[in-house]
Each structure stands twice: as C-alpha cells, then as structure tokens.
Structure 1
Amino acid sequence: PGSSQIQLVGSADPVVALAGDDVVLPCYLKPNVSAVDMMVEWTRSDLKTERVHLYREGRDSNGHQLTSYRGRTSLFKEELKNGNVSLKLTRVTLSDAGHYKCFIPTLMKETTIPLIVGAVSQPVISINGTKDWGVVLKCVSGGWYPQPELELLDSHGNIVSATEPTETSDSSETEIHPEGRYTVRQYVTVQKTDDNRFTCRVVQLQINQTRETQIHVPGEVFIH
C-alpha cells in the first residue's frame, strides 16, 4: 500500500500505570506493513519534543535520549515486521506521566498516547484514644498520586463522618514526598456497634485504585 493509505494507530484512551510498573504504549501500522527498515521515533510532546527512544537503520540509536529514560525503553523487535512499533517502558515513575508521540518520518505519520501514572499505598488504621462515649480512630495513608479520597466505613458500609479537621498534603508533608505525593489523614470518633468493625478506605478514581484496611475495636475499649 502507498504511504497515504497506511495509518499509525495508537490508543483511544490514556494508558494508566502505577509507579514501579512496566507499561506498553501502543503504536501500530495499519495495514500491518513491516517497520523493520523504517525510522521510529518516540518523543515526549509535552517536553519540547525530547527524545524517549529512537530506532533507525535496523537498531536502537539512543545517544541523544533523555537521561531519565536511559535503560528503560525498548521496542518489540520481533514484532516490527508486523507493523508493531509500540514502546515498552519499564519501572515507570510519576515524572514519566505525559504525552508520548510515536512518529515515523518516512510516512510522515504520527500519533500521541497520553500516559497517566499513579501511586498507591495501604492505609493504616489505629486506635488513637477515647472521646466522650466513643473511640477515636486514626486513618492514615501516604504516598498517593493523584490526591485520593479517604473514608471510614462501619461494617454495614455506612460512611462515618470525620470529627476532627482532616488534612491532606500541607507544605511540610510535600517536602517529605519530592514527587508531590499525597498523605491523607483522618480522625473519626466511632460509637459502639454490633461488631465494632471499621474499614479505612482510600480511593483514587482517575487511576481506578482502591485500598482498604479493617480494624476490630475490642468492646472493652468503649467507655460504658
């Protein structure tokens, strides 16, 4: 087929990954013509088109690659003959999030794939003391990105509202997390229930992630 009929197809939706994961940014020639002898250039279009990976004359040519990507990028060499020019990126970091451009100069075809990178951690729930007739529970979860929502539930799935002011990442917290990760913290006073089980749940919808931790408060902790 002539170059005008060949399409370069990426991803309709952003690619979502968690920090530390390996990820594939999809890019294919349609119809499936071989890209073995073509030049394939991957760049970050949101970083003044800085080079992420370059393949030319049958091999990788990463002399001018962004240093933060050194040793973490590869193409699927055995798939190039089928028109697969997807990029594999290993050990993803939060700073990898952005817009990636897949470009084949000989065809003058390009497509852009957004990459969203999140970070999660397991919440920690503990008994912080007693207040009036209830028990104060403290729920903390650090190292999240983007900023998550935190909620405390009883065993029936009802949200128990916070009694103390809640805080997310203030200036001192952000200094601990150079990548701008968030710590969420909540204090909730709970009353005695039929089973005294409570769940701390942290949710981030953009990256479709939920983490939760359960606690059982012994009945004798409650002031009768």
Structure 2
Amino acid sequence: MECTFPVNGKLKFRDLSVSWEKKDELKKQVYVLLKGEEDFQSQHSDFRGRIKLLKEHLNLGQSLLQITNVKLRDAGFYRCLIGYGGADYKTINLKVKAPYRTITQLVVSTGDNMWKLMCQSEGYPQAAVIWQNRAHEDLTDKANTSYETGSDQLYRVTSTLTIKSRIDEIFYCIFWNKELRENTSAILHIADSADVVLWTESRRFVGAVLIVTAFIGSVLLSMLCIRKARANKGNRTPVTISSVTKPSKDKDTYDCRDAFEDGELKYMQIEKT
C-alpha cells in the first residue's frame, strides 16, 4: 500500500513521522515511524512480524507499506498519516484475493459403468463449479456442490458429479470466481483412473477365487478321507488284544494323504500355485 507526501530537497529523516492504522471496529495500529525511529510497542498482534516500511522510497516522498503472508482478515480500510513539516492522511481500501489455484481430483467407479467424479479446492470469495464433458456440454445440473468455511475464512468448495460413462472419456470441472472474473479448471480422465480401480477390483476377485478354491479343496479332501476310512473299516479283520505283540498302525487311523495318487497331488499343487 502506498501514500505520498511532498519532499522539498533532501529528506530530513529525523523530522519524519509515519503512521499506518487499520480501521476495524476498533482501531488497530499497523506501523509507526516516529521522528525517524520505528516503534513496534503499540503494533497490533494481527500484524506482528508481517509489516515492513520500504524506507528506501521515503526520499521520493513515498510511504510504501509491505504486508507479507497476507490473510483474508487483512482486507479492509487503512489510514496512512504523514507528519513532515505539516500533516496529511490518506485512506486506502485493501481487497484480498484467494484464487482457486489447486484442485484436488478423485475418480471412483461405482459399478455398471457409473462413475463418481469429485473436485475440491479452496479460495475466496465463493466460487461456482461448472461441469462439462468432452464435447463441452453443460452437466452442472447433475452435480452436487457444497461449501465450508475454515478458520482461515477460505471457502472449501467440494463438487461431485455422478454419471454413467464409458471408459476413455474426459470431463472438466471449472471453478468460476465471478467477483474476480477468474476461472481455474481441471481435467478428469476416466481411462487413467479406471486402470487403478479395475486393478484393485481384480486383486479382490483373485483373492476371493483363491479363498473359495482353498475351501472347496478342504471339503473334498475331508470327504475323501471319510470315504476311505469307512471302506477300510468294513474290510478289516478283528484281532484280540492278546494276539497283539507290538503297536501297529490301525486301519481306522488313516493318513489322508494316501487318498491321492501322485498325479492327483501334482494337480492340486498346480491349482494352489
């Protein structure tokens, strides 16, 4: 921000006083230069560490105030008071802009060629979101747009479009800031996102197939074991305890691995792999 004052000849720095203040509900002191000496004791906490007077311009009769890390609350009316062989002041209206520069995108498949497209961005003032397809047809009426305000006073705008579309299609979301007459757009590619989504779904499908295969294999193995055990039970020869001289493998105690021939085991291993 700038205000000017007359300088006749060389500036007498010790005779110069400059004061900047913000006119809110309560007056806030922004910067004070008193008789050539800076005074930060009365500076309001809102501006501490963010204000600098460009002293090299004072010789030209210019009081240039620089504000860094500008915030939305900095917007408003400022008064510049100059004391140098007299007194004068100027009121300046500072407007703060926050364009919607960065747009976060999301593309999700909901099945049956239905897609959910989402765009989100932050800025100020409130922006409208326009949706278009590859042919630049307006799809805004089909979208749902919501607005939130954070502690930094920026608008967080989220717009979601649910639409049926084939793969290899593109859509545009456009953030239109009417007050600034500025727009920022993003391109959403169905094809690019579909690869990720379909890959994820494929992994889930393969996992499900492996689980089902393992379950069926376990059931078949158990049935074969039971059938083999029953067959052996019907064909065994009774023996007395006295005729047994040493422990032997009872036919009822059956190793299920015997149910498979080498060829069958090899087949199951291939299926497992």
- Shared fold by TM > 0.5? yes
TM-score when normalising by structure 1: 0.71
Q: What is the alpha-carbon distance in structure 1 between the residues aligned to residue 193 and residue 58 of structure 2?
A: 66
Q: Is 1:29 aligned with 2:10?
A: no
- Alignment partner of 2:105 out of 114, 119, 125: 125
Give the AA of the match of 1:96.
Answer: D
SS at match of 1:159: coil
> Which structure has the greater CA radius of gyration?
2
The alpha-carbon deviation at position 220 of structure 1 amounts to 11
SS at match of 2:89: strand
Q: What is the alpha-carbon distance in structure 2 between the residues aligned to residue 161 and residue 43 of structure 1?
A: 44
Higher helix share: 2
Once structures 1 and 2 are overlaid, which stretch shifts more, 152-161 or 75-84? 152-161
Structure 1 residues 55 and 205: CA distance shift in structure 2, 3 A:
farther
Contact 2:108 2:116 in 1 (8 A): yes
Contact 1:123 1:200 in 2 (8 A): no
- Alignment partner of 1:213 out of 176, 180, 186: 186
Q: What is the alpha-carbon distance in structure 2 between the residues aligned to residue 180 and residue 220 of structure 1?
A: 33
The alpha-carbon deviation at position 184 of structure 1 amounts to 1.5
Number of equivalences: 190
Structure 1 residues 35 and 87: CA distance shift in structure 2, 3 A:
farther
Structure 1 residues 187 and 82: CA distance shift in structure 2, 3 A:
same
Q: Which residue of 1 aligns with 2:119?
A: 139
The alpha-carbon deviation at position 207 of structure 1 amounts to 4.1
Aligned-residue RMSD, C-alpha:
3.0
Higher strand share: 1
Q: Which residue of 2 aligns with 1:95?
A: 73
Q: What is the alpha-carbon distance in structure 2 between the residues aligned to residue 50 and residue 198 of structure 1?
A: 48
The alpha-carbon deviation at position 218 of structure 1 amounts to 2.0
TM-score when normalising by structure 2: 0.60
Q: What is the alpha-carbon distance in structure 2 between the residues aligned to residue 81 and residue 219 of structure 1?
A: 59
Aligned-pair identity in percent equals: 26
Q: What is the alpha-carbon distance in structure 2 between the residues aligned to residue 98 and residue 42 of structure 1?
A: 13
- Gap regions ≥5 residues in structure 1: 1-24
The structure showing larger relative contact order (alpha-carbon pairs under 8 Å, at least 6 residues apart) is 1
Q: What is the alpha-carbon distance in structure 1 between the residues aligned to residue 183 and residue 12 of structure 2?
A: 40
